[in-house]
Chain A
Amino acid sequence: MLDFISDNKKSLITLGLVTVIAYVFYFLDEIRTTSVLVFGWGYAVPLVLAAMVGIIGERSGVVNIGIEGQMLMSAFAGFFGSVFTGSIYLGMIIGILTGVLMGAFLAVAAVKWEMDQIIAGVVINIVAAGLTSFFYAQGKTLPELMPVVSIPLLSDIPLIGPVFFRNGLFALSTLFIVVAVNYALFKTRWGLRSRSVGEYPSAADAAGINVTRVRMMNVTLAGALAGCAGAFLALEAAGTFARGLTAGRGFLALAIMIFGAWNPMGALAAALFFGLSTAIASQLQADEVINIPQQFVNLLPFVMTLIVLSIAVGRVRPPAAAGQPYTKEG
């Protein structure tokens, strides 16, 4: 516990600060604050999940710019899976499995065949956009709604409860997924191996770790999280599928991964920041409190990102071997 606190000091301070500010607003205007935060967290969920995919990949040395395509395929498969099976739960499973399949595709192309990782990712994005547009059929409706689950006790906490603990299944799991990835990456043998493979693969190899196998496994399993993100968009957030549903969120997630310094908790804070800025931008428009053009208000998150990224330059560094295929010497 103490380790966890000292390891994530910055993220925790940010999180604490945001919480305090949120409660101040909560006491000023309960309904507005809650609904803005619900919007913000809803916006952040797919970004966090997708950023986890990027983090797991790059921490083990594989750059994944195909997250957008992986999400899009999963959203498509999740939606039409539910439509054809008549069950939203089967749709969720189909969506996640599609994510795994897309992860496996990247793993085989980029790790096994040592294809250029960027090109492999681009191929995924193009294939996904192509397949999902081509096979898209109109007028299909989800057989049932994503159930909204309230976690007992936790969901009764003012503000935090309705925002984080009264949600659909994906949004509900996201916080736990982030904590689990964070723990696994820094506190387990798997995490140590993965990180060593991403930092110094030849040393890891010399220590007896099968670099190719670790990378294959990580990229494939991370695909499941891309599957969650995609299925969340189609089944939980929009309740429908449209072409290009992901709308660049997979790329935004890469920015969030960097913003969060390749750290799950950092990425969570970064995504929350993005979600909150977007929500506030829309609320300012709705309330017309300040009479400035909405285009300017909407620039807010991006300007802030630019500022934060320029401050963070030099202090954050990507995993050393990210993007480099590993070939065993000799």
Chain B
Amino acid sequence: MKRMRTLAGISILALVLAACSSGTTDTAAETTAAALDDSNCAAAESFCVGLVTDIGKVDDKSFNQSAWEGAQAAAAEVGGFAKYIETTDTKDYAANMKQFTDKSYDVIVTVGFLMAEASVAAAKENPNTKFIGVDQFQAEEVANLTGLIFPEDQAGYAAGYLAGLLTKTNKLGQVLGLEIAPVQKFAKGFEAGATAANAAVKVTTVYHPPADNGFGDPVWGAAEAKKQLSQGADIIFGAGGGTGNGALIEIAKAEGAGTSIFCIGVDTDQWGTVPEAQPCLVTSAMKGLVEGTSDLVKAAFDGSIKGGNFNGTTGLADYHDLAAAVSADIQAKVAEIVAGLKDGSIMTGVTL
């Protein structure tokens, strides 16, 4: 009997932990930014923002985190309420969105390219709810669904241009997440930019093998980065969530990191999000995720939001401590390129 009781105790412990864990079930957390709760989202005076993450965590130091920060900031600004659900399985996209629509949330932010189809379906089912699809290109316009898209190829191009000017070995590397459109645009933009800056440059491009953990495999990222380094690459672009972060951290350990070996981060300014990478991190190819999400949530609040696609901004992060390693000439040239990309005078020529 005693044994059974202990067993039962362990099972209960396991269940409780499973419930707390974000690794096995979907967790939800609420922001403290607003004092409201979601009990009366249907009421006209309340404004509720729900965010569904892609596979991954809301504190992934990259994609989900930025979108959540944007949603939180916008909700706080307009006196609304924000809450997120972390997705752990692609099959749960619809169910997670339904948790919000059931409570009559005003705006639902869905993060990530992989959720595009589920978002379209949910938007059609709930015509009175505004949907914001981060990184989701809308081929067909749905009135209550806005895709926040970024010209990733431009951010990649600028990063590639910098790398092309900086490289001594004329060999660049890319350690990437899954081979999906936003990542491909980064990668091809990087290749185009590098070649434009330096015709002699050769870019090695390697995507993570297709798997559920394509954006969360730092071990693979580190091994791939190490391989590319030993084959002579001196600047490596790590683009792919945790996988890319693994690459950045590995490069930071290399001999000559910050003087002859550099790494470039992605999505957000990774100087702050991956401090381990600081020894080699020269810049990051950024998407304006926080501003883009926040702008759209605010537009949804005042009713100015439109269906279809909304173009966010991209750019390069600050050089931080490695500014000294980038000569003034190069800095000026790269700034010129970034400006040219923004005003449309430079085209990346990237097509998927």
Contact = CB atoms under 8 A, between A and B. Distances in A.
Interface of A: 31-32, 34-36, 38-39, 42-43, 46, 109, 113, 115, 123, 126-127, 129-134, 138-139, 141-142, 145, 233, 237-240, 242-245, 247-248, 278-279, 281-283, 285-287, 294-295, 298
Interface of B: 3, 6-7, 10-11, 13-14, 17-18, 20-24, 57, 59, 61, 179, 204-207, 209-213, 216-224, 226-228, 230-232, 242, 245-246, 249-250, 253, 275-276
A278 B232 CA distance: 20
Nearest to B15: A126
Contact of A35 (B57, B205, B212, B231): B231
Given A123-B11, A131-B17, A233-B219, A38 B230 contact: yes
Nearest to A282: B206
20 contacts: A31-B232, A35-B226, A36-B227, A38-B226, A39-B224, A126-B21, A130-B23, A133-B22, A133-B57, A237-B222, A238-B221, A239-B250, A240-B249, A243-B23, A245-B219, A248-B212, A282-B206, A282-B224, A283-B227, A285-B207
Contacts of B20: 130, 134
Contacts of B57: 133, 243
Most buried by B among A32, A35, A245, A247: A247
Contact of B205 (A244, A247, A286, A298): A286
B230 A242 contact: no
Given A126-B17, A279-B227, A298 B209 contact: yes
Given A129-B21, A237-B223, A238-B249, A285 B213 contact: no
Given A127-B17, A131-B17, A243-B23, 14 more contacts: A38-B226, A39-B227, A113-B3, A123-B10, A126-B17, A130-B18, A130-B24, A132-B23, A139-B275, A238-B219, A239-B253, A245-B219, A294-B209, A295-B179
A176 B222 CA distance: 25
A237 B219 CA distance: 6
Nearest to B6: A113
Contacts, number: 138
B276 A247 contact: no
Contacts of A38: 226-227, 230
Contacts of A281: 209
B14 A127 contact: yes
Nearest to A35: B230
Indicate the member of A115, A142, A294 with the most B CB atoms within 10 Å: A294
Contacts of A294: 179, 207, 209
Contacts of B209: 278, 281-282, 294-295, 298
Nearest to B17: A130
Given A126-B17, A242-B218, A295-B179, A286 B228 contact: yes
Where chain A touches its partner, the secondary structure class is helix
A277 to B, nearest CB: 10
Given A141-B275, A244-B216, A34 B23 contact: no
Contacts of B220: 43, 247
A134 B210 CA distance: 27
Contacts of B6: 113
Contacts of B17: 126-127, 130-131, 134
B210 A295 contact: yes
Given A130-B20, A295-B179, A295-B210, A247 B219 contact: yes
Contacts of B23: 129-130, 132-133, 243-244
A31 B233 CA distance: 12
A207 B249 CA distance: 55
A129 B57 CA distance: 13
Given A109-B10, A129-B21, A131-B21, A243 B227 contact: no
B230 A34 contact: yes
Contact of B213 (A34, A141, A238, A248): A248
Contacts of A36: 227
Contacts of B221: 238
A324 B165 CA distance: 64
Given A282-B206, A295-B179, A240 B276 contact: yes
A32 B231 contact: yes
Contact of A240 (B223, B228, B245): B245
Nearest to A37: B227
A194 B153 CA distance: 59
Contacts of A282: 206, 209, 224, 227
